[in-house]
């Protein structure tokens, strides 16, 4: 809806023969074509379609950015020679997109501003190197991506084309029309750099294979992954890196793009291990990989790499267990998802039930922190139980006040007589998390007459924090 009327925002190319144009009211268009077929614009679907089109364009370059709701920017520096030159490069894009049902206007130029101007307001498809300023000088000022109000204001003083303002003194133009006008002019002419923001992160390294005939079978895909992994190892070695996060992108002939991502617990530089992770990932898919009419391009991206420790070990050092552990983590992560393979990690707190957390192994580099599993020493008795209850359970206890351990207690309907005890170990509350009304804890290690050992605590200091402290069971010693 615009100006109290439903307007035409797009139409088929041959509709102009009937007098239709963008911005025309729907009622006027239907007066010209009574049986006109029309559809309501869905901006969300347009954006999704443009996003899928941007993903498809990664077959040409990883640097693809959105241009509003109806265009794309592609930085194809160094890519045209892969298609036997710029002319063949442009023709390949147009042919493929036209076959998918798109109407394409495309221009290749030294600057993003010049390419935008020519594609939308000119007829050129390729602007020769260094000729973009002259090529766009005959185009209207709207080709500089200016607001309509600014274009109207420039037109009132006689400026109609880009060439009209290209050589004028800059200070008066800035004073009257603002700095934005000259910024757009400088971006189009190359005097001011314009950086595009790629829709997807650019991989650190990539290996790609194009097929003369599309492939559809999973065995062919697996073999190709192994070839790509072998090709990329040399690049990793020269940079002393190992792959941590890898992605395979499969470009279908009909424009669909599918991707598979795997995580490695440790930096990898073994092509068989990398390929095996993707084999596990393919095996974990709930449905078969939809090849459609086949994949004509496959690309292996290294999204994240870490320094690779290539130090030589001596003959007697045992490293097999670490390798098997990392390989197991990688296989489980590929099958189940990297966020589902968890390990214990210390948390920054002194409250016992909060001192550990479960975190994905991939976030900790696959290495188990020795401090979180090592006891104080083989000759010392552990001060914490091996079995900690998920949450403290209330018990009925008899103890002398104010600080004595319990002489007996009842837990889960069973009465225990205490024979020995150690403590108390006082742990203060976390007032910044639980509030200032929270109570302290006095922990005791106790042993009953049957030899069972428990870890329990009195919640609240007698007569200082509460008149009736409660007792809780928190853990069991072996």
Judge whether 300 and 207 are in contact, CB under 8 Å. Answer: yes
Q: Which of 138, 162, 189 is the last residue of a domain?
A: 189
Judge whether 302 and 239 are in contact, CB under 8 Å. Answer: no
Q: Same domain, yes or no, for 37 and 50?
A: no
Tokens 């092509």 correspond to 271
| pLDDT band with cut points at 50, 70 and 90 for residue 2 | low
Collapsed DSSP state (helix, strand, coil) of residue 79: coil
Q: 334 vs 231, which has greater pLDDT? A: 231
The bridge status of strand 356-360 relative to strand 342-346 is antiparallel
Q: Same domain, yes or no, for 302 and 430?
A: no
Rounded CA separation 24/42 (Å)? 18
Q: Same domain, yes or no, for 86 and 75?
A: yes
Predicted confidence (pLDDT) at residue 472 exceeds the cutoff of 50: yes
Question: Whose CA is closest to 330, among 241, 268, 247, 259?
Answer: 268
Predicted confidence (pLDDT) at residue 432 exceeds the cutoff of 90: no
Mean pLDDT across 164-178? 91
Is 382 within a domain? Answer: no
Question: Whose CA is closest to 243, among 219, 278, 218?
Answer: 278
Percent of the chain residues topping a pLDDT of 70: 91
**Domain that residue 283 falls in:** 203-309+320-374
What integer pLDDT is reported at residue 333 of this predicted model?
A: 77
Predicted confidence (pLDDT) at residue 16 exceeds the cutoff of 80: yes
| pLDDT band with cut points at 50, 70 and 90 for residue 373 | very low
pLDDT per position as a tens digit, 55-76: 899 889 889 999 888 899 999 9
Is 135 within a domain? Answer: yes
Q: Which of 189, 222, 246 is the last residue of a domain?
A: 189
pLDDT per position as a tens digit, 330-352: 778 777 777 778 877 777 888 88
Is 380 within a domain? Answer: no
What does 306-375 look like in DSSP terms, one character per residue?
EE---PPP-TT---HHHHHHHHHHHHHHHHH-GGG-EEEEE-S-SSGGGSEEEEEGGGGTTPPPGGGT--
Collapsed DSSP state (helix, strand, coil) of residue 27: helix
Name 418's Cβ contacts closer than 8 Å, sequence gap at least 6.
405, 406, 407, 408, 409, 446, 447, 448, 449
Judge whether 275 and 188 are in contact, CB under 8 Å. Answer: no
Angle in degrees, 0-180, between the axes of helices 271-283 and 320-336, rounded to the nearest 10: 30
Q: Same domain, yes or no, for 328 and 179?
A: no
H/E element holding 238?
A: helix 218-238
Give the rounded distance of the alpha carbon of 120 from its chain centre.
32
Is 326 within a domain? Answer: yes
| pLDDT band with cut points at 50, 70 and 90 for residue 379 | very low
b/e burial code for range 307-344 (CB count within 10 A of at least 16 → b)? ebeeeeeeeeeeeeeeeebbbebbbbbbeeebeebebe
Predicted confidence (pLDDT) at residue 418 exceeds the cutoff of 90: yes
What integer pLDDT is reported at residue 226 of this predicted model?
A: 93
Is 154 within a domain? Answer: yes
What integer pLDDT is reported at residue 409 of this predicted model?
A: 96
| pLDDT band with cut points at 50, 70 and 90 for residue 422 | very high
**Count of beta carbons in the 10 Å neighbourhood of residue 382:** 12
Is 432 within a domain? Answer: yes
Predicted confidence (pLDDT) at residue 1 exceeds the cutoff of 70: no
Tokens of 96: 């493929």
- Tally of domains within the chain: 4
Tokens of 456: 């329990």
b/e burial code for range 435-456 (CB count within 10 A of at least 16 → b)? eeeebbbbbbbbbbeeeeebbb
Judge whether 305 and 267 are in contact, CB under 8 Å. Answer: yes
Tokens 């920017």 correspond to 73
Give the rounded distance of the alpha carbon of 180 from its chain centre.
33
What integer pLDDT is reported at residue 221 of this predicted model?
A: 92
Collapsed DSSP state (helix, strand, coil) of residue 34: coil
What integer pLDDT is reported at residue 348 of this predicted model?
A: 80
Collapsed DSSP state (helix, strand, coil) of residue 476: strand
Predicted confidence (pLDDT) at residue 355 exceeds the cutoff of 70: yes
Mean pLDDT across 407-416? 94
CATH assignment of the domain containing 16 = 3.40.1170
Q: Which of 189, 223, 246 is the last residue of a domain?
A: 189
Rounded CA separation 350/110 (Å)? 60
Rounded CA separation 384/407 (Å)? 21
Q: Same domain, yes or no, for 458 and 333?
A: no
Judge whether 460 and 469 are in contact, CB under 8 Å. Answer: yes
Predicted confidence (pLDDT) at residue 362 exceeds the cutoff of 70: no
Name 36's Cβ contacts closer than 8 Å, sequence gap at least 6.
29, 30
Predicted confidence (pLDDT) at residue 313 exceeds the cutoff of 60: no
Q: Same domain, yes or no, for 103 and 213?
A: no
What integer pLDDT is reported at residue 64 of this predicted model?
A: 92
Mean pLDDT across 258-286? 87
What integer pLDDT is reported at residue 323 of this predicted model?
A: 67
Mean pLDDT across 431-437? 85
Q: Same domain, yes or no, for 97 and 181?
A: yes
Beta bridge partners of 161: 140
Mean pLDDT across 143-168? 92
Angle in degrees, 0-180, between the axes of helices 271-283 and 218-238, rounded to the nearest 10: 140
Q: Same domain, yes or no, for 217 and 139?
A: no
Rounded CA separation 391/140 (Å)? 72
Helices (H) and strands (E) in the chain — how many of each? 13, 14
Q: Same domain, yes or no, for 357 and 230?
A: yes
Predicted confidence (pLDDT) at residue 367 exceeds the cutoff of 50: no
pLDDT per position as a tens digit, 22-42: 888 888 888 888 888 888 888
Q: Same domain, yes or no, for 394 and 425?
A: yes
pLDDT per position as a tens digit, 71-95: 999 999 888 888 889 999 999 999 9
Say how many residues make up the chain.
478
CATH assignment of the domain containing 356 = 3.30.1490.100
Is 298 within a domain? Answer: yes
Q: Same domain, yes or no, for 239 and 269?
A: yes
Judge whether 343 and 362 are in contact, CB under 8 Å. Answer: no
Q: Same domain, yes or no, for 27 and 71?
A: no
Judge whether 28 and 49 are in contact, CB under 8 Å. Answer: no
pLDDT per position as a tens digit, 234-252: 999 999 999 989 999 999 9
Rg (CA), the chain: 35
Is 196 within a domain? Answer: no
Statement: the pTM of the whole predicted model exceeds 0.75: no
């Amino acid at each position: 809806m615009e100006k109290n009327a439903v307007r035409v925002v797009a139409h088929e190319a041959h509709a102009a023969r009937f007098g239709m144009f963008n911005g025309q009211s729907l009622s006027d268009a239907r007066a010209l074509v009574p049986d006109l077929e029309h559809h309501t614009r869905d901006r969300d679907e347009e954006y999704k379609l443009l996003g899928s089109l941007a993903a498809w364009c990664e077959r040409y370059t990883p640097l693809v950015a959105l241009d509003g709701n109806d265009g794309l920017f592609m930085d194809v520096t160094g890519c045209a020679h892969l298609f036997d030159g710029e002319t063949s490069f442009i023709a390949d894009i147009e042919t493929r997109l036209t076959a998918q049902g798109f109407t394409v206007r495309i221009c290749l130029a030294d600057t993003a501003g010049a390419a935008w101007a020519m594609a939308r307001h000119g007829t050129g498809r390729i602007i020769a190197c260094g000729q973009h300023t002259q090529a766009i000088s005959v185009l209207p000022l709207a080709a500089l991506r200016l607001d309509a109000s600014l274009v109207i204001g420039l037109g009132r003083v006689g400026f109609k084309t880009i060439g009209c303002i290209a050589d004028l003194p800059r200070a008066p133009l800035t004073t009257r029309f603002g700095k934005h006008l000259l910024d757009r002019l400088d971006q189009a002419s190359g005097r001011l750099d314009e950086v595009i923001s790629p829709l997807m992160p650019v991989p650190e390294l990539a290996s790609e294979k194009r097929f003369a005939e599309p492939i559809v079978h999973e065995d062919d895909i697996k073999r190709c992954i192994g070839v790509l992994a072998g090709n990329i190892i040399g690049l990793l070695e020269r940079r002393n890196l190992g792959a941590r996060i890898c992605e395979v992108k499969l470009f279908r002939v009909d424009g669909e793009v599918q991707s598979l991502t795997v995580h490695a617990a440790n930096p990898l530089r073994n092509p068989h291990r990398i390929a095996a992770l993707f084999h596990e990932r393919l095996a974990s898919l709930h449905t078969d990989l939809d090849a459609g009419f086949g994949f004509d391009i496959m690309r292996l991206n290294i999204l994240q790499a870490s320094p690779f420790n290539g130090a030589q070990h001596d003959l007697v050092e045992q490293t097999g267990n670490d390798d098997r552990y990392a390989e197991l983590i990688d296989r489980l992560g590929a099958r189940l998802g990297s966020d589902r393979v968890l390990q214990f990690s210390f948390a920054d707190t002194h409250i016992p039930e909060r001192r550990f957390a479960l975190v994905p192994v991939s976030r900790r580099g696959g290495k188990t922190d020795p401090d979180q599993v090592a006891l104080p020493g083989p000759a010392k008795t552990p001060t914490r139980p091996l079995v900690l209850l998920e949450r403290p359970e209330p018990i009925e206890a008899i103890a002398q006040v104010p600080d004595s351990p319990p002489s007996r207690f009842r837990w889960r309907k069973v009465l225990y007589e205490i024979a020995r005890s150690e403590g108390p170990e006082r742990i203060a509350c976390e007032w910044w998390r639980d509030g200032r009304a929270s109570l302290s804890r006095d922990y005791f290690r106790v042993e009953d007459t049957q030899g069972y050992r428990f870890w329990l605590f009195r919640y609240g200091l007698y007569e200082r924090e509460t008149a009736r402290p409660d007792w809780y069971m928190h853990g069991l010693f072996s």
